């Protein structure tokens, strides 16, 4: 019965909205590679494959599982019910989350009923084929670095750019591994992993074995001046990871997570295939956190306008939409916690001053967990952006 239900769900996912996708008959599915990464790096509930040192896996998984339990206790179990109480009914099941890396973990906390989650950032998804071919010392070193990075993802709820850049190379595909770690936290496992490009008309094209062979030696160039080139093929920039729920926890039976590597500044996003792809989704639920305040900036105004024109609801930290942009688009913002200043530049200038005043103008509402960045005084804060007409 479960297998039949899964097949039906997959057919709905693949054929509903067919106009937005180009289905390559021989698209490569890297699900076996995804399962290996799920088992070895995220310590998912599957048997350890042969060839992986048991003592190395045990040491790694002892640490990762401790971090997973910590994030469940201190973040998921606090944030999920709190945020769920803020969500109106009938929100779009499609979520757009820019500027936060492939942070599937927080997306699942914020929108627990989402069936399609798209994250967009400078990071590439990563080549899933390398881990299975790695030598023991190389695997040991890479898992050690992954554990250090997981601390920022699972405990601090944001990631430093230097750490993210490091995972643009090497044997562990960073964004894929982090997404699979989030899956392990929530009781999901991978059932499909495909890579794609976005065509000029906004449709998705899934890569075939022939495509991959042709592009094997074409490495990904950095998407921003301060970023890095990848050491793997451009094929592995954008991924579509399909997850199936395995536990008795609540949530959709199937979740499709797409991570897209892109620069969202005006020069790259305006009139881009990505813009057409996102617009084809119609109304969305939006979120961001730890987004380097890019939503504030003029250079990202086109993406900000896309978000305001298409979102029905948004959860964010202070790096989300500023009050004057939200108000002009017909939204209001409800604040939680305290905001004293933007910590990246130790204040934030006029925009931070306006946001600080916005927080002060509202009654204090407690926020018992950290959501993305803290502020200049290490205060937790969160904003709900919603249409004015929804105010009771």
| pLDDT at position 152 | 65
What pLDDT digit, counting tens, does each position of 374-385 carry? 999 999 999 999
pLDDT higher than threshold 50 for residue 44: yes
DSSP 302-318: HHHHHHHHHEEEEEEST
Beta sheet of 254-261, edge-to-edge order: 21-22, 204-206, 188-198, 238-245, 254-261, 116-121, 94-98, 284-288, 311-316, 381-387, 331-337
Residue 239 near residue 194, CB atoms below 8 Å: yes
| pLDDT at position 153 | 64
Q: What is the DSSP letter of 269?
A: H
Characterise 311 by phi-psi region: left (phi > 0), alpha (psi -120 to 50), beta (else).
beta
Calculated CA dihedral for residues 185, 186, 192, 195, nearest 10 degrees: -60
Q: How many whole angstroms separate alpha carbon 318 and alpha carbon 375?
A: 8
| pLDDT at position 49 | 65
Q: What residue has token string 């430093």?
A: 160
Q: How many whole angstroms separate alpha carbon 280 and alpha carbon 103?
A: 23
Q: From 334, 287, 293, 330, select the one nearest 307 (Cα to Cα).
A: 287
Residue 246 near residue 189, CB atoms below 8 Å: yes
> Which residues have C-beta within 8 Å of that of residue 162, sequence separation ≥ 6?
none
What pLDDT digit, counting tens, does each position of 248-279 carry? 677 889 999 999 999 999 999 999 999 999 99
| 33-37, 224-228, 315-319: range with lowest mean pLDDT | 224-228
* Helix ranges restricted to H, 29-123: 31-40, 54-71, 77-84, 104-110
The pTM (predicted TM-score) of the whole model is: 0.89
For the chain, what percent of residues have pLDDT higher than 70? Answer: 84
Q: What is the DSSP letter of 386?
A: E
- The packing angle between helices 273-280 and 301-310, to 10°, is 10
Q: From 392, 10, 387, 377, select the one nearest 192 (Cα to Cα).
A: 10
What pLDDT digit, counting tens, does each position of 276-309 carry? 999 999 999 999 999 999 999 999 999 999 999 9
Dig out the tokens for 226 from the structure: 């301060």
- End-to-end CA, the chain: 43
Q: From 103, 89, 120, select the one nearest 371 (Cα to Cα).
A: 103
What pLDDT digit, counting tens, does each position of 325-366 carry? 999 999 999 999 999 999 776 666 899 999 999 999 999 999
Dig out the tokens for 147 from the structure: 């554990």
């Amino acid at each position: 019965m479960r297998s039949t239900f899964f097949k039906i769900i997959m057919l709905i996912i693949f054929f509903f909205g067919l106009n937005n996708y180009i289905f390559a008959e021989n698209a490569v599915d890297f699900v076996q590679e995804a399962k290996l990464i799920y088992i070895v790096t995220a310590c998912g509930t599957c048997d350890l494959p042969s060839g992986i040192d048991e003592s190395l896996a045990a040491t790694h998984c002892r640490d990762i599982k401790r971090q997973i339990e910590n994030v469940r206790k201190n973040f998921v179990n606090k944030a999920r019910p709190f945020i769920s109480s803020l969500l109106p009914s009938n929100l779009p099941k499609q979520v757009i989350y820019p500027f936060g890396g492939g942070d599937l973990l927080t997306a699942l906390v914020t929108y627990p009923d989402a069936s399609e989650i798209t994250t967009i950032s400078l990071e590439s998804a990563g080549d899933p084929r390398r881990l299975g071919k790695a030598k023991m010392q190389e695997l040991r070193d890479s898992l050690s670095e992954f554990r250090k990075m997981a601390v920022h993802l699972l405990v601090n709820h944001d990631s430093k750019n230097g750490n993210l850049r490091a995972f643009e190379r090497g044997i562990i595909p960073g964004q894929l591994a982090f997404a699979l770690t989030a899956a392990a936290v929530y009781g999901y496992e991978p059932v499909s992993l495909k890579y794609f490009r976005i065509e000029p008309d906004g449709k998705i094209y899934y890569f075939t074995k022939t495509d991959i062979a042709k592009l094997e030696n074409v490495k990904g160039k950095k998407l921003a001046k301060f970023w890095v080139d990848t050491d793997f093929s451009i094929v592995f920039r954008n991924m579509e990871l399909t997850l199936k729920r395995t536990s008795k926890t609540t949530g959709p039976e199937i979740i499709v997570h797409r991570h897209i590597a892109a620069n969202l500044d005006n020069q790259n996003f305006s009139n881009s295939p990505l813009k057409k792809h996102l617009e084809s989704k119609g109304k969305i639920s939006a979120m961001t956190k730890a987004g380097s305040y890019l939503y504030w900036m003029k250079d990202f105004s086109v993406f900000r306008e896309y978000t305001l024109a298409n979102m029905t609801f948004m959860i964010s930290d202070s790096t989300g939409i500023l009050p004057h942009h939200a108000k002009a688009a017909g939204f209001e913002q409800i604040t939680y916690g305290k905001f004293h200043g933007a910590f990246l530049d130790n204040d934030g200038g006029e925009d931070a001053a306006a946001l600080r005043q916005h927080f002060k103008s509202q009654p204090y509402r407690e926020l018992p967990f950290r959501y993305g960045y803290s502020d200049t005084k290490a205060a937790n804060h969160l904003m709900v952006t919603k249409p004015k007409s929804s105010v009771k």
